[in-house]
């Protein structure tokens, strides 16, 4: 009965969203109409809450008559993962997205101090988008569908790869970012329809863009960390199409933040900012289509149903198409010419380069699909393509940021920054030589130049520490420095060994002595694991840790997975993963030392903290 209640509530919520969309055509008295719309929004939010709670209860009570529950849960699954399974599959994740749009719609409808005409138009547009999402769910991805009368006695269980804290953190953050871009899309379309662009609109767009950027930063970082410690490969970024699908909107959000900064300072780039809002939403839906339509093969993919892909494309065309028609019909708001000189010019150029990077990643992701659709055969676009484009663009953006910060400092300080960065980079190459000296020197030089200029900026203007927004901007760019240094270190100085190991054998990797002590059998929930007991010693022979990598066999479908073991240290991780058995008592072991890897997670935390500080209310007169 509970699933039927949720299903009925969701249908009512869908009807209410259509009613809110059509209400401006039903009543000419705007104040009365607006009160009716707000009432419908409140009712729609209540229906959505009932629908989500109904599905959550179905998971917690092991109602395997619900197909989505049966395919993604099990009676012995821990309750946090039962909750996380709500968004662990295609149907639930789309419901999460639609519910988030409804919540954002309610927040905007009952928000005080918004310009009334803009507020009503945004609510109407968001209701239309929400109706589209709800119809896609009801027609192609119903999470409340039953398996009656053939109800299984037990569920298929959640994919073992998903039974991780990464499932609790990564997908919700990514979808919250997509929800943020949906709100920005509605705001941009409303502004384009009104052909008005004010300082208040800039502030509203900046607020939602910051929220979107913060959660996408966290979502991408948690996804990278999840893949790093869970998949057993030891990689932190593979340029997988599904990774790219969430990374491209992050790049667009980064560019949009800088354009809104320029708009606030110079009253310029209004049309470009609005178009980027629409572009971010479009790319989020395109990424969703790639993940769920079956056109790509990925370990991260949600689904492979072409009918769902067609539904998502229909949603894309029915929402973005009218936005493009509005641009063609009503044009774009007027604004001042774009700044091309000084610090603002550097910021604009950096934003444009970020967009170039986004489209380069999009091209590399979609090119194999287009190649196959044109019946030209199969082609693979891998890390060499992405690295050859993205790394130079990132270095150039960091250099532009450093130059912008040093504008107005005369010639002495920039000269000292260049000299100091050059000497530090040369010292790195001498102390830790590598055959990839060009990439190391480029990454280290630009990162160190930006770091030194950030420090100089604080020395020159210590009063900035009393301004939370300025501190936030400083932290975000400092996070970029840490990310570049960490990525440069782990990409060029990682040490790997693939060795045959059994009890009594050992190997030295990066001043760590790894000794295989024993093989054990571990019985877990739904799996049997072969576990290696590994002793780790430092270069003085002192034991520092015991690591327990596992090779798990899940009993429901006999899937074999590797559970890696990590010795976390501030400057780098020792990473162990256990491969298949080669001979009696001997296993293939991957041993890796990853210098600077923790800088990647630290950089994301700094960026998110910086973004939160940038949300600090502005003082009057600033």
- Residue-wise pLDDT for 327-354, tens only, equals 988 887 877 777 777 788 889 999 999 9
Average pLDDT over residues 117-145: 94
Residue appearing with tokens 């399974």: 85
Residue 296's pLDDT is: 65
- The torsion angles phi and psi of 509, rounded to 5 degrees, stand at -135, 120
**What residues pair up with 430 in beta bridges, in sequence order?**
none
Residue 124's pLDDT is: 94
Residue 295's pLDDT is: 67
Q: Which two tokens stand for residue 394?
A: 């990132």
Q: What is the dihedral of CA 398, 404, 406, 410, to 10 degrees?
A: 140
pLDDT range class, residue 210, cuts 50, 70, 90:
very high
Which burial class, exposed, middle or buried, applies to 41 when counting CB atoms under 10 A from its CB (0-12, 13-18, 19+)? buried
pLDDT digits (tens, 9 = 90+) for 540-578: 888 889 999 999 888 776 778 888 999 998 889 999 999
Q: For 28-42, 108-122, 352-366, 518-532, which range has the lowest pLDDT when averaged over its residues?
A: 28-42
pLDDT digits (tens, 9 = 90+) for 399-457: 999 988 886 666 777 788 888 888 888 888 888 888 777 778 888 999 999 999 999 88
Residue 621's pLDDT is: 47
Residue 128's pLDDT is: 95
Answer whether residue 47 shows pLDDT above 60: yes
Residue 553's pLDDT is: 87
Residue 258's pLDDT is: 94
User: Which one, of 303, 399, 379, 255, lies nearest residue 71 by Cα?
Assistant: 303
> How far is C-alpha 138 from the chain's CA centre?
26
Average pLDDT over residues 106-133: 92
Average pLDDT over residues 30-47: 88
CB 517, CB 535: distance < 8 Å: yes
Answer whether residue 149 shows pLDDT above 90: no
For 64-80, letters b (16+ CB in 10 Å) and e give bbbbbbbbbbbeebeee
Q: Which residue has the higher pLDDT, 163 or 211?
A: 211
**What residues pair up with 534 in beta bridges, in sequence order?**
516, 547
The Cα 551–Cα 581 span in angstroms is 9
Residue 299's pLDDT is: 52
If residue 178 lies in a helix (H) or strand (E), which one and from where to where? helix 165-194
| String of DSSP letters for 370-401 | HHHHTT-------HHHHHHHHHHHHHHHHHHH
* Torsion sign, CA atoms 154, 156, 160, 165: negative
If residue 591 lies in a helix (H) or strand (E), which one and from where to where? strand 586-595
Residue 330's pLDDT is: 83
Domain borders along the chain are 1-162, 164-360, 371-493+599-614, 495-597
Average pLDDT over residues 506-518: 91
Residue 301's pLDDT is: 53
Residue 463's pLDDT is: 83
- Please give the radius of gyration of the chain, using alpha carbons only, rounded to the nearest integer: 26
Average pLDDT over residues 269-274: 90
The Cα 179–Cα 212 span in angstroms is 8
Q: What is the dihedral of CA 19, 24, 28, 32, to 10 degrees?
A: 60
* Torsion sign, CA atoms 422, 428, 433, 438: negative
The Cα 314–Cα 133 span in angstroms is 10
Answer whether residue 480 shows pLDDT above 50: yes
Q: Which residue has the higher pLDDT, 112 or 124?
A: 124
pLDDT range class, residue 393, cuts 50, 70, 90:
very high
Q: Which residues contact 333 (CB under 8 A, 6 or more apart)?
A: 191, 192, 195, 196, 197, 270, 271, 274
Answer whether residue 65 shows pLDDT above 60: yes
Estimate the crossing angle of helix 597-614 against helix 199-230, to 10 degrees: 160
Q: Best-predicted range by mean pLDDT among 261-270, 431-440, 599-608?
A: 599-608
The percentage of the chain sitting over the pLDDT mark of 70, rounded to a whole number, equals: 95
The Cα 308–Cα 50 span in angstroms is 25
Q: Which two tokens stand for residue 383?
A: 């890390």
Pair type for strands 543-547 and 559-563: unpaired
| String of DSSP letters for 96-125 | HHHHHHHHHHHHHHT-SSS-HHHHHHHHHH
Q: Mean pLDDT over all residues of the chain? A: 88
Q: What is the DSSP letter of 23?
A: G
Residue 466's pLDDT is: 84
The Cα 592–Cα 574 span in angstroms is 6
Residue appearing with tokens 């520092």: 544
DSSP-based three-state secondary structure for 193: helix
């Amino acid at each position: 009965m509970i699933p039927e209640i949720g299903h009925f509530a969701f249908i009512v919520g869908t009807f209410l969203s259509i009613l809110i969309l059509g209400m401006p055509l039903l009543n000419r008295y705007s104040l009365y109409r607006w009160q009716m719309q707000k009432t419908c929004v409140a009712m729609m939010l209540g229906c959505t809450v009932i629908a989500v709670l109904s599905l959550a209860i179905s998971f917690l009570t092991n109602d395997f008559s619900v197909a989505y529950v049966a395919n993604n849960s099990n009676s012995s699954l821990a309750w946090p993962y039962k909750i996380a399974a709500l968004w662990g599959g295609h149907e639930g994740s789309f419901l999460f997205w639609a519910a988030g749009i409804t919540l954002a719609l309610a927040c905007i409808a009952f928000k005080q101090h918004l310009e009334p005409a803009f507020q009503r138009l945004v609510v109407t547009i968001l209701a239309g988008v929400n109706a589209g999402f709800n119809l896609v769910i009801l027609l192609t991805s119903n999470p409340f569908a039953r398996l009656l009368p053939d109800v299984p006695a037990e569920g298929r269980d959640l994919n073992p790869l998903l039974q991780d804290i990464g499932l609790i953190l990564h997908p919700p953050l990514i979808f919250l970012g997509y929800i943020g871009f949906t709100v920005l899309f509605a705001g941009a379309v409303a502004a384009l329809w009104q052909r008005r662009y004010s300082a208040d609109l800039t502030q509203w767009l900046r607020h939602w863009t910051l929220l979107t950027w913060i959660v996408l930063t966290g979502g991408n970082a948690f996804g990278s960390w999840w893949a790093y410690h869970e998949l057993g490969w030891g990689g932190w970024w593979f340029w997988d199409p599904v990774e790219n699908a969430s990374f491209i909107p992050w790049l667009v959000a980064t560019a949009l933040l800088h354009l809104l900064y320029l708009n606030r300072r110079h009253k310029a780039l209004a049309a470009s900012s609005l178009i980027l809002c629409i572009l971010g939403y479009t790319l989020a839906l395109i990424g969703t289509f790639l993940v769920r339509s079956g056109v790509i093969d990925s370990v991260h993919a949600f689904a492979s149903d072409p009918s769902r892909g067609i539904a998502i494309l229909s949603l894309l065309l029915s929402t973005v198409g009218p936005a493009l028609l509005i641009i063609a019909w009503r044009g774009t708001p007027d604004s001042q010419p774009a700044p091309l000189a000084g610090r603002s010019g550097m910021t604009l150029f950096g934003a444009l380069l970020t967009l170039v990077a986004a489209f380069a990643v999009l091209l590399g992701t979609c090119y194999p699909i287009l190649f196959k659709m044109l019946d030209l055969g199969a082609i693979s676009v891998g890390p060499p393509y992405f690295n050859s484009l993205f790394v130079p663009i990132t270095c150039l953006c960091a250099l532009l940021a450093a130059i912008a910060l040093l504008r107005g400092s005369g010639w002495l300080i920039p000269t000292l920054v260049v000299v100091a960065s050059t000497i530090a980079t040369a010292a790195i190459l001498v102390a830790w030589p590598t055959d990839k000296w060009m990439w190391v020197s480029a990454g280290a030089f630009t990162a160190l130049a930006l770091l030194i200029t950030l420090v100089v900026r604080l020395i020159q203007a210590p009063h900035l520490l009393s301004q939370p927004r300025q501190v936030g901007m400083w932290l975000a760019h400092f996070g970029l420095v840490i990310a570049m240094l960490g990525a440069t270190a782990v990409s060029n100085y990682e040490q790997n060994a693939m060795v045959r190991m059994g009890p009594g054998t050992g190997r030295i990797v990066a001043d760590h002595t790894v000794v295989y002590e024993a093989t054990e059998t571990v019985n877990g929930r739904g799996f049997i694991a072969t576990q290696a007991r590994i002793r780790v010693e430092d270069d003085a022979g002192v034991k520092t840790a015991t690591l327990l990598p596992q090779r798990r066999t899940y009993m429901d479908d006999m899937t074999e997975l590797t559970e890696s073991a990590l010795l976390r240290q501030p400057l780098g991780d020792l990473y162990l993963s256990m491969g298949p058995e080669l001979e009696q008592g001997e296993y293939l072991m991957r041993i890796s030392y990853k210098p600077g890897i923790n800088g990647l997670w630290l950089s994301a935390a700094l960026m998110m903290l910086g973004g939160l500080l940038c949300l600090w209310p502005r003082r009057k007169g600033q």
